[in-house]
Chain A
């Protein structure tokens, strides 16, 4: 398999796609964009046999990856199951970074302190970024994970962009015909809207 070119500002965003997670998901998008990073998600990748290959290629093309392990509980739909996609993609990123330490750096985000040590004890010794399940917590932990040397963005600035991005969601979903923000057709729109807001609110 040909090795994809690494995009130096791209972040593989490995988060749960569920309605209760909407605001945290939007916080990740607006926070990363505020930091001048380019989030990438598996939303645009179709199912099927090549899906795993394409996810791995996406991880390989991103300089960073961010894995939110907040949703480790069983879901409500029958049969109740935990979600293994996020830990699996984390494992892929860890392996890739181990083989290519200069090309990939991964971060684990969680909502609860010490839970990851229980749910995925192989990570013991790794510092997780605990966001507490709040949008402000996500921004704070993104600032802890990523630092810009020249233009440091503050948590209140990131939250301001986030608040404005949330205002765009009803119109953007309606215009794109999406049922939720977790669809590929609206992902690019949200990214562009967040970037446009950041340019006007933080850079102009």
Chain B
């Protein structure tokens, strides 16, 4: 099955799930603590940047 829908970012997903700011911050804190190797240096760029990265990758 070919998927053609855009990929929702984490920020968009938080909105869809109805997660509040505090809960999002708590989950992100846990993720950054447990997965320092991958997410440290805070590579969590803004949604708009991610979209740009995806579009570049797609072209």
Interface positions of A (Cβ within 8 A of B)? 8-9, 35-38, 64, 105, 145-151, 164, 167-168, 171-172, 175, 188-189, 191-193, 195-201, 203-204
Chain A residue numbers with a CB within 8 Å of B58 are 150-151
Contact of B53 with A35 in the complex, beta carbons under 8 Å: no
> Which residue of chain A is the closest to B39 with respect to CB atoms?
A200
- Min CB distance B18 to A, Å, is 8
Q: Which bracket fits the contact residues of B?
A: 35 or more
Neighbour of A145 across the interface among B1, B31, B57, CB < 8 A: B1
B residues 1-49 touching A (CB-CB < 8 Å):
1-10, 13-14, 16-19, 23-24, 26-28, 30-31, 33-35, 38-39, 43-45
**Listed A/B pairs (27) with beta-carbon separation below 8 Å:** A8-B5, A9-B3, A36-B3, A36-B6, A38-B8, A146-B1, A147-B3, A148-B3, A149-B2, A149-B4, A150-B57, A150-B58, A151-B54, A167-B34, A168-B31, A168-B35, A189-B23, A191-B17, A192-B19, A193-B30, A193-B31, A195-B10, A196-B10, A196-B39, A197-B38, A198-B10, A204-B45
Main secondary structure of the interface of A (DSSP, over half): helix
Chain B residue numbers with a CB within 8 Å of A199 are 9-10, 44, 50
- If A8-B5, A105-B1 touch, whether A38 touches B16 (CB-CB below 8 Å) is yes
Chain A residue numbers with a CB within 8 Å of B2 are 147-149
Contact of A196 with B26 in the complex, beta carbons under 8 Å: no
Chain A residue numbers with a CB within 8 Å of B38 are 164, 197, 200-201
Of B4, B7, B17, B58, which is in contact with the most chain A CB atoms at under 10 Å from its CB?
B7
